[in-house]
Every structure is written in structure tokens, then in C-alpha cells.
Structure 1
Amino acid sequence: MKTLKTAALFILSLSLVYLGGCQASGASKQASTGAQTPAFQSSTLPGGGIAFPHNERIHLSTDQKWVASEGHLSDLIRLQWTAERAKPAIAWADEKGMDKTAIVSHDKANNPEQHDHKHISIETTMSPDGEHKDELFTRLEIPYDTDVSEIRTHSSNFNVMDGILRVAGEGHRDLQFAKTGEENETTPLWSLRADSSELAGNNTGGDFNVVRYSDEGEAIDSALFMKRSDGKIGVGTSEPQSKLDVNGDGISIREAKTPASSSAPGNKGDIAWDENYIYVCVAKDTWKRTELSSW
């Protein structure tokens, strides 16, 4: 009861302060224009409502903490839905009164046949020349009532301009490619991963993997592995013993090439082949070859 009385007194005081300010403002305007500015006006936007006088400002401040047991006294604006499909929103309209952007939070979808939304969303209008002309559409949604929030974007491209897109943490650090299913469920196909191997100094740990998944979303193996400590690369192995270690029974160089001579342009380590020889560049512009034969 004490809390309710305090809240009522606070609201009354805020109203009196605002009305007094408006009256003071109105008095100064009256002095210059001869007209009194009303404290509140009827909104001209569709649906009506109460409007503040044009160009007036709302200034809210607090010295209270966000403490649940004390009633979250620092929540200076609280929007509440009182029906299960209601959607409290803050909307921005253009000079013609047309909605262009909005922040919305709600529990259930308009359509009872859809799954519960349970999210806060940022919405912007679709193209004025498109199929859904001027329709507000969810671009970013952040679910609630979940320990791990699956943040989603829709019909949106994400650009980092002159900055960094960073994935950090202590476990696997994944950039994942997936397929979508019903009710926004996802099943991974590939992941680019800095793994959870211990960061033990000397550039060890956090090795890079290209992970492939089964149709059911289970990790199969690391198709490509790069060791951070020495840069060794493993194909089909996470323990490469050389700069390139292939865990398989063959490697293919698809295109034939015949160096014009033993001094043809080339870099040390280049390998080529044709129907008769295998060629190896042993030094700058220095080739050697070995003959191929049938058996």
C-alpha cells in the first residue's frame, strides 16, 4: 500500500510539474502571441490519442537502481500489454503521419496459428514500390524467456564499415552456415571455427577449423585445420606434421604443364606434370624432371 501511495504521489507530482512548465511556457507564448498553449492536445495520427504540444520536450532522469525487489524504480518508461496478443510499440512517423520505423515487443503473433514470438523487434517499412508497399517488417528480433537468445535478422544485409566483425569467448568461436526449418529452427552445415583448445602461450591454442556437419546437424570432422602456433595445415587431420599434411590416399593437380626448358620461369618447390614427366623446380628458374613409365 505504501508503494502504491508513493507511486501515486510521484505521478501526481510529475503531472503538476509538467503542467506548471507548460503553463509557464504558455504564459511566455501568451505574452508574445496573446494565446494560451494547452497542456495536452488530441493527436491527429490514425487511432488518435493524447499529444504533447508541438516542440515540447520530455526530460526523465533518475538516481535509482534497477533492483527487482524495489520495483525497478529506474524504469522511467514502462510499456505493458494487458491482452495476450497486444503489441506495445514506439513508432516513428514521417511528416505525413506514415509509420516508417518502430520498436515492438510482444508475446504472441497476430495469427493464432503461428508459434509464439516472445521477442522485441526493430521494424522498418518495405519498399514503396514493392509487393508489401510501406508495410512495417521485422528486421531485427531478440527473443526473451530464454537463457541463450537466438537473435535473428530478416531481409537484411549486415555490413561492417571501417570496423571489425568479432567473435570472442572461451569456448568454440564459430561463424556458422546453416539451413532453416520450421519456426526459425536452424541446422548447421559448415562452421568456421577458432576452437576451444587452451591458450597456453607461445601462440598455442585457438586453432582454426572448417567443420562439416551431417544432415542432422551433427559435426562430422574438421575438413580443414590450421594450427595457430606454427601455421601447419591439415586436410582431414587435426595433427598436421608438415606445412601441408593430407590425411588421404591421393592428391590431384588437374592441369598438365610442360616447362619450356630446364631454365623456364619457376619458383622453388613448383611441381608440374605432363604425359611423360614430372617436373620439380629446385631453385629459381631451375627445373629437374623424372620420366614416367607404365607397369
Structure 2
Amino acid sequence: MKLKKLAVTVILGGVCLLGAGCAEQSQGGKTTLGQAVQNGNDIMIPHNDRLNLSTDKKWIEQEGHQSDLIRLQWTAERAKPAIVWVDEAGKNKTAIISHDKANNPEQHDHKHISFETTMSPTGQYANQLFTRLEIPFDTDISEIRTHSSNFNVMSGVLRVAGEKGSNRDIELSVSGKENETTPRWVMRADSSQESGDNTGSNLQFIRYDDHGKVVDSPLSIQRTNGNIGIGTNDPDTKLDINGDKLRIREKYTPASSSSACSQGQMAWDDDHVYVCVAENNWKRTELSSW
């Protein structure tokens, strides 16, 4: 196919970038990019040349968004303007796409910007672009989602931050229709006030029922002293159990009262309960039926 030279000259900041006659133009010691060509619907900048855009304008809506040097617009409700990267054979590999409605009218409106990469060349959807990250628009709180993606933090920090007196949650949920989710578990730094001496912002594990309603907080840890509560959010000892039973599943019989042990260890067998009262010093009490 014969490539057609463009008849339009593009000038930015007084410097000729594209179009007929650019090869002869220069300004301020800058050389021009040369002539762009048109190949069908494509405008092609000469190979290895760059299009360099810059601005000193603020983003001001009343003045026409002067800082948006590249503007992609959809002019039909299911159009999908995109920036796409292709390999040496011209096949799509990655893309950034923003659009309103899904291709399939039966699907919910997408209303997001998405980052897409191809699926495995040996998988069920070989080489198809697939959404890995999507960020919705037209919403006060944007529910950012990933798909078929693992998120790794390498030599860094995964952080959930918030104001003092607010809950900071990591939620484990089940997904439903139209990207709805229902919580099952939450790990939370709670909203208890920080009043000094390491108080407040205690750690809780919260469980939810099948309908996403809070059931209780079966495990909590106080930040001020490290006390652990099971069934209570206000433990006053290192281990505080709000229940009427404590179970040690396996029986154990020390060979003698001087068998190896650490102070505070407990054990039982069919006849006795054993307590290690000092290093390598067991004592026991006899069990009886009633």
C-alpha cells in the first residue's frame, strides 16, 4: 500500500512537528520530526521519532481543560477509546481503556477506566485482552477491583491508613452479581480513641453472617498491653476467654515431677492434671468422678 503524505502541518509552541515542509523547518536550535504519513486511518510519525508534548497550563474547566494534551472522546455510548501497546507482529498486548457501557447490553454499565493485558497464549482465552485493574468513575467512593491478578508488595509496605478514631479494615468477602460483595471476615484496627500510653486503635477480627451482618468479634488484641481476648473486646489479662470451657485436646503424662517443662505449662491425662510451677518442676492433682 502506498503511504500518503499529510498535507497538514502541526505546530506546537512555534515548532513544526508534523506535516509537509517540516523537514526544512527548525526553531531555537531544535530539529523537526520530519513528515508524518497517513496509512489508511492511521497517522504515522516517522520511525524512532517522538511526539513530545508539554504544558504550563493549569487544569481549569472554564478555560477548556488547557492541560489535557491528549483527549480521547467516545461519541457513541458503547465506544471504547483506548491506548494500546502491540508487539512486533502488531498484536495487542496491553491497553488502557476508559468507557461507559459494556459491549453486551445485558451487562451492567461499566463506567470505569481499566488496565488490560493479554491472557496466556496457551490458555482458554489465548492472547485476549483481559481487565486486570479497573477504577470506576461517576461515584463518590470508587470501588477499585482487580481480576485474575495477584498483588505483591516487594520490599515495601501494604498500608491501610485512616484518621484517628476511624476503623481501618481489611475485608474478606464473597462476590455476587454486578460486582457486589458480601463480607465474611474483617481484620480491623478499630475506632477506639488514642489517648496516650499506646491506648486505642485495637486489633479485632470480626465475623459476619450469610447476609453480611456483623455477628461478633471472636478475637481482639489490645494495643496498650498486648492482652488477647477471645469473645471479648476488653481483655484484662494476657489471655481472657469469655466462655465456660477451655479445651486441651491431647493428653500428656510427665515421666516424673522433674521432667522438662517451662513454668506455667499445663497438661492432663486420665488420672491427673499437671502444672509446671517452675522450670522442670511439675506438680499434679488427682482427678475423681462424682
Per the normalisation by structure 1, the TM-score is: 0.88
Pick which of 84-93 and 57-66 moved more.
57-66
Letter in 2 for 1:18: C
CA RMSD of aligned residues (A): 2.1
CA distance in 2, matches of 1:229, 1:93: 55
Pick which of 19-28 and 100-109 moved more.
19-28
Which one of the candidate residues 204, 208, 217 is aligned to 1:213?
Answer: 208
C-alpha spacing 1:66/1:129, structure 2 compared with 1 (3 Å): same
- The aligned length equals 274
1:73 corresponds to 2:69: no
1:255 corresponds to 2:253: no
Q: Residues 159-217 of structure 1, C-alpha deviation per residue, up to 9 Å, x if partnerless?
A: 11111111110221111100010001000000111111112221011100000011111
Equivalence for 1:6 = none
Specify which structure has the higher proportion of strand: 2
CA distance in 2, matches of 1:95, 1:22: 28
Letter in 1 for 2:37: Q
Q: Residues 51-95 of structure 1, C-alpha deviation per residue, up to 9 Å, x if partnerless?
A: 111111111111111122222211111111000000010000011
Residue 18 of structure 1 aligns to a residue whose secondary structure is strand
Equivalence for 1:224 = 219
Taking the TM superposition and a 5 Å limit, the aligned residue runs for 1:133-144 are 133-144=126-137
Specify which structure has the higher proportion of helix: 1
Identity of paired residues, percent?
A: 61
Equivalence for 1:285 = 280
Per the normalisation by structure 2, the TM-score is: 0.89
C-alpha spacing 1:20/1:131, structure 2 compared with 1 (3 Å): closer
CA distance in 2, matches of 1:269, 1:239: 23
Residue 260 of structure 2 aligns to a residue whose secondary structure is coil
Letter in 1 for 2:112: H
CA distance in 1, matches of 2:108, 2:100: 10
Which one of the candidate residues 84, 87, 93 is aligned to 2:77?
Answer: 84
Equivalence for 2:98 = 105
Letter in 2 for 1:40: A
C-alpha spacing 1:263/1:50, structure 2 compared with 1 (3 Å): same
Task: List runs of 5+ in structure 1 lacking aligned partners.
Answer: 1-10, 29-36
Task: List runs of 5+ in structure 2 lacking aligned partners.
Answer: 1-8, 27-32
Cα deviation, residue 238, structure 1 = 0.7
C-alpha spacing 1:194/1:205, structure 2 compared with 1 (3 Å): same
Cα deviation, residue 14, structure 1 = 2.7
Taking the TM superposition and a 5 Å limit, the aligned residue runs for 1:1-295 are 13-14=11-12, 17-19=15-17, 23=21, 25=23, 39-43=35-39, 48-170=41-163, 171-295=166-290
